[in-house]
Structure 1
């Protein structure tokens, strides 16, 4: 009986925590949420935020789709937002509860993946490129040849983040194709290049900020903000390359889950992070730009002209936001990706 009572008490405690007033469950990418912002938010509002990490869009989607996650807010990338909408996993926002909605910068308001920002608000945005320790390799880093035709100096020292849409798109651009291509000749070139290159990679893993900083890896397909953090940690040895063949642009946005329990707390948090000063705190931690007008004034000085944050003019045209791919294109990419994981 004691065992049953203890189990019942534990279940009730868990249930009450998920739905308790003054708490919020945020499901977000790892190493992406400013502790200083959370401390300030709790001090200002009395709401305690618990952050649970994920490492890919697919993992987050699968976890929530399975049901009973207990999360209130999630932060999907642009190419996944409509998938969440179509599956009914996120709900349309009541903008009357978000007076700071007006602070969303005009260029991030009527976005392709969420017209009028009906379902999401901006978190951060950036690019996926190549991070290289220039003490190890001094050649051209602005090319996807770095991971598809690995230079001798980087063989066995380069990582590729296991984010399918980013890596596959970079390889497709390199092969002369467009995002979500169904061109079998292009896809064969992509498949052959990836399979041939993989033996020259050290790993397909996350954690690039730390492993580039401590020298475990000499290069990685990586995100721009993570690379800036590594650059600062290595006194400039790690540099960020924008592949001239094409590279993904992305924006991660905050969405309210359809089965959220702490709804009012969620609205309070979303409105809070659209204050320019608070949006800047998010950026200052993870080193990515955000979509809130006026936040620039509160940004750290070293971000205002950082090459990882301000895309050099010569590489701007090569950046592309990735669409949600149609089923056939997704199937082709998944088949190649699955083979690559073997």
Structure 2
């Protein structure tokens, strides 16, 4: 429960520098935060959470770096967390204030992007793959050729989510390279494949879930949970895992260095590590999370969903993206800028 303020504390809180007790500002991906979770948190703590949305890691990073947003918590992907740490944008957590930290599953506790989980708390994790309507195409969908050398049935009907790291990583792995490479020959191959494929695409759009469900687009490079949600509305939507290689990701919650609502933020971080509450997060967005025991509180159809359970023969093709070097990022940005023209 939020703390009662003394008369002196109330007087101090009236200054322009004081945080607003009972409030919390969460900066998160769009359509990614469970309303039920927020309602439960407010009912139990009295803390009102305001969610501001972003559509890409780069957008979130630039807004946080610019300052002035008033955000307390942000939810970056794994390969961006070292950038936040290096730039001093997030603060190390006081684990003594997070008794539920012990609920983090062991596989997600000592991760390369945040050893020992001292800066972040798991939110959700998943994969990037290919959604396809099987009424239109019934061949192999476990390949990035679906958008880089698409079958005739799908030409002009393919969407590509405009997330630079995901798209370039898929293209690099398709041509035999590795994500974040500085090899200019491999980068040129990926660039050429992307530029040749683009005229065969319908769009580069983040909002694919309702359009896949309504058959307004018939294929898309997209995230597994969002495709799962489309399939629940349209059982012809299938999810493929590119055998040439596909990104895995984990989004995690971090406390911003300039956060004002510190106590409220710690209450929220501890709250989402309760298995029941982590289950609410996954039940809404349809991704797995990193909290031990949360499966018992998820919908039964998540246990063996093809969008959640990677086939054994394709597991080795999935890899977490590294944090690109400045040089690799420079190459990425040049290719991406050309692709988006």
TM-score range, shorter chain: over 0.9
CA–CA separation in structure 1 for the residues paired with 2:110 and 2:211: 37
Aligned length: 327
Note if 1:197 corresponds to 2:165: no
- Counterpart in the other structure of 1:268: 267
Report how far residue 84 of structure 1 moved.
Answer: 0.4
Note if 1:336 corresponds to 2:335: yes
The DSSP-based 3-state class of the residue aligned with 2:147 is helix
Q: Is the 8 A contact 1:18 1:25 kept in 2?
A: no
Note if 1:163 corresponds to 2:163: yes
Q: Is the 8 A contact 1:122 1:290 kept in 2?
A: yes
Runs of 4+ in 1 over 6 A off after TM superposition: 15-18
Given the two structures, how large is their TM-score scaled by the length of structure 1?
A: 0.94
- Counterpart in the other structure of 1:289: 288
1:134-213 alignment, distance < 5 Å = 134-213=134-213
1:34-49 alignment, distance < 5 Å = 34-49=34-49
CA–CA separation in structure 2 for the residues paired with 1:149 and 1:17: 56
CA–CA separation in structure 1 for the residues paired with 2:183 and 2:92: 36
- Counterpart in the other structure of 2:63: 63
- Counterpart in the other structure of 2:99: 99
CA–CA separation in structure 2 for the residues paired with 1:16 and 1:288: 40
Instruction: Pick closer, same or farther for the CA change 1:159–1:20 going to 2, 3 Å.
Output: same
Report how far residue 312 of structure 1 moved.
Answer: 1.2
Instruction: Pick closer, same or farther for the CA change 1:177–1:263 going to 2, 3 Å.
Output: same
The DSSP-based 3-state class of the residue aligned with 1:259 is coil
The DSSP-based 3-state class of the residue aligned with 1:19 is coil
CA–CA separation in structure 2 for the residues paired with 1:16 and 1:39: 29
Structure 1 unpaired stretches of 5+: 1-14
Report how far residue 16 of structure 1 moved.
Answer: 7.3
Given the two structures, how large is their TM-score scaled by the length of structure 2?
A: 0.94
Aligned-residue RMSD, C-alpha: 1.2
Report how far residue 19 of structure 1 moved.
Answer: 2.8
Q: Deviations over 1:209-243 (max 9, x none)?
A: 11111111101000000000001110x20000000
Structure 2 unpaired stretches of 5+: 1-14
